[in-house]
Amino acid sequence: MRALTYDGKTATVSDVPKPELAQDSALVRVTVAGVCNTDRELVKGYMSFRGILGHEFVGVVEEGPEEWRGERVVGEINFACESCPICYEGLQRHCPSRRVMGILEADGSFAEYVNVPIANLHTVPPSVSDDIAVFAEPLAAAYEVLEQVHVMPNQECVVLGDGKLGLLVAQVLRQAGAQVLVVGHHEKNLEILARRDIQTVQEQHWNPGLYSLVVDATGSIGGLRMALAATRPRGTVVLKSTTATKAKLDLSTLVVNEIRVVGSRCGPFPPALRALETGSIDVSSLITHRTSLANCDEALRRAGDAGQLKVLVDAQ
Amino acid sequence: MRALTYDGKTATVSDVPKPELAQDSALVRVTVAGVCNTDRELVKGYMSFRGILGHEFVGVVEEGPEEWRGERVVGEINFACESCPICYEGLQRHCPSRRVMGILEADGSFAEYVNVPIANLHTVPPSVSDDIAVFAEPLAAAYEVLEQVHVMPNQECVVLGDGKLGLLVAQVLRQAGAQVLVVGHHEKNLEILARRDIQTVQEQHWNPGLYSLVVDATGSIGGLRMALAATRPRGTVVLKSTTATKAKLDLSTLVVNEIRVVGSRCGPFPPALRALETGSIDVSSLITHRTSLANCDEALRRAGDAGQLKVLVDAQ
């Protein structure tokens, strides 16, 4: 089958053997896959990943248990052992021996086929198109904020960053009743939010107040610094950027103002799928480019271009 | 009167004018004052403070409202405006226009007399001696952890650091029912805890597991790094070190393991005074040295010596 493989140096589309059905898994024929910023970090060396990239997908189960065959599915990306204390607590996304699709010791979805553990599958509602369903994974990551932090209706929140994740987090917070202000750089992206009744401001015109909740979705360490400065005493910063690695930080603001910084990663699929079904979160406006699996290496590069949000890959 | 003043270069004991009674305040005749690590940071330039140092004290009200005159008191160190939205929320310790005794724009207690706002005073129970009462402020800072984080009975907690604050935090957590392990360097300090049924380990013999709550009371940035590595997914790190200023940090652990880092500073006096009254927290073992106000500059230097915990200053 065709797949985008990263060998530690370059990401190349080539023919590789079609995977055999793995234990307790379904072999999914991928229909559409999405490019995530994490994919771009991986090819810079993040996680030292080697193998088939990709972790946002929708597809149809081709092999596996009878009740799943022919089902149109999306899949959670953390493959847990399901038998350790962390898994028994329901924290499978944090299983210490997890593999992660296209990120850690598991092949990903920029391929014609991908193995996904049965426990990770979710059926896509019939009314949700493939192009919309492929947003289940990033939208789940946005819902993760609500799982970690008690967001109150009418709470004044700030989202720093108007990239893909910022746009999703802002909509999720708005839907939870919060008053959301998004601080960004890209007029077009901010317009998507304005249409959803979300306040926006260009960073250079922002006069930061102090907020009880600030989500850093900038993907840069400058974002955390900016977030700490805009957070009121005893307030919360949600840190969404996995790209933020080593950075020099003055932590005295955090201590003196008794700020809570909450790291945030993958989230729950069911609320994401429900929101995609009702259309309460606008994801289609985020699609800026699509290409074929044959051009997937180019898609990865394009995804970093100015003006790009979600780049989709037709996998068949 | 005699006082220890910092002029931006050196801390010197000298004769200065006795302060006049300030508005809404009591003029307290200081009996005993305590040296805190923050005092040592201040004379290194922290907060750019100029004036009389000292913020841990016990004394007797000499001038002020009739109902307070003659009362033996301790005092909260954050002098709030009591009329801004933050104060109305009960967060006076975070008042944006606060002055802080001996730390920010307010003279401190290494002096024969100090002005303290009436709102900040607490009467010392008769059975609590001056040497014990002077621990109200640092013990309140230890109780702050319980105000910020839900500590569950039997929860396995780690306290990093066996200095003054580490010893107090460990005892407060133990008293709340938690199973506490203190990781330290100083055999004598760890022995104080062992007498209180608190598990201890020398850092070089520690084989870190993963804990749901880790308190960094090391006063060094290495402590936060160690804390993040010892915190389980979705666990909490309480950061107690105001000395931890700029530091290079790898935040990917925080994001990937979805850790909460909570900055923590001053705390509530009433539970501290109650604990001092019942003797449920051992503070007297922490007193390692005492001196007179005339030698207070020397006391500040001595407080940093190996083996020293709390250095007390007789102010009269």
Nearest residue, CB atoms, B251 vs list A244, A252, A255:
A244
How many Cβ pairs closer than 8 A exist between chain A and B? 114
pLDDT on residue B243? 57
Inter-chain contact B262–A265, Cβ cutoff 8 Å?
Answer: no
What's the pLDDT tens digit per position in B238-290? 999 765 456 777 788 899 999 999 999 999 999 999 999 999 999 999 999 99
- Nearest-Cα residue of chain B relative to residue A256: B265
**Is the CB of residue B306 less than 8 Å away from at least one CB of chain A?**
no
Residue for token pair 């001595």: B302
The yes/no answer on whether domain B2-135+283-314 falls in CATH 2.10.109.10 is no
pLDDT at B251: 83
* pLDDT tens readout for residues B18-76: 999 999 999 999 999 999 999 999 999 888 999 999 999 999 999 999 999 999 999 99
Facing A258 at nearest CB: one of B148, B248, B251: B148
Would you call A252 and B259 a contact, using CB atoms and an 8 Å cutoff?
Answer: no
Of A91, A249, A257, the CB nearest to B234: A91
Chain A closest-CA separation from residue B161 CA (Å): 17
pLDDT at B208: 87
CATH of domain B141-263: 3.40.50.720
| Residues of chain A positioned with their CB less than 8 A from the CB of B212 | none
Interchain contact, A251 vs B148, CB within 8 Å:
no
Please give the Cα distance from B303 to B316 (Å, whole number).
20
- Nearest CB to B233 within list A91, A233, A252: A91
Return the percentage of chain B with pLDDT > 90, whole number: 89
Q: For the complex shown, is ipTM > 0.85?
A: yes
Spans of all domains in chain B: 2-135+283-314, 141-263
Residue A244: predicted pLDDT: 44
Contact across the interface for A257 and B94, Cβ inside 8 Å: yes
Query: Is residue B125 a contact partner of residue B18, using CB atoms and an 8 Å limit?
Result: no
Asked if B262 lies within 8 A of A258 by C-beta distance, the reply is yes
Contacts of A156 in chain B (CB under 8 A): none
The predicted pLDDT at position B194 comes to 94
A255 touches chain B (CB under 8 A): yes
All residues of chain B having their beta carbon less than 8 Å from the beta carbon of residue A257 are: 94, 263
Query: Between chains, do A265 and B246 touch, taking CB under 8 Å as contact?
Result: no
Neighbours of B192 (CB within 10 A): 22
- Greater confidence (B44 vs B146) lies with B146
**B42 close contact with A: CB closer than 8 A:** no
User: HSE (CB half, 13 Å, CA atoms) of A19?
Assistant: 25
Please name the member of A233, A249, A255 whose beta carbon is closest to the beta carbon of B246.
A249
Low-confidence ranges of chain A (pLDDT < 70): 242-246
Task: For residue range B76-126, list pLDDT tens digits in order.
Answer: 999 999 999 999 999 999 999 999 999 999 999 999 999 999 999 999 999
Instruction: Say if CB A214 and CB A235 are below 8 A apart.
Output: yes
Q: What is the pLDDT of residue A245?
A: 57
Range list of H helices, chain A = 37-42, 85-88, 130-133, 136-148, 164-175, 187-194, 221-229, 252-256, 269-278, 296-302
Identify the band that residue B173 occupies on the pLDDT scale cut at 50, 70 and 90: very high
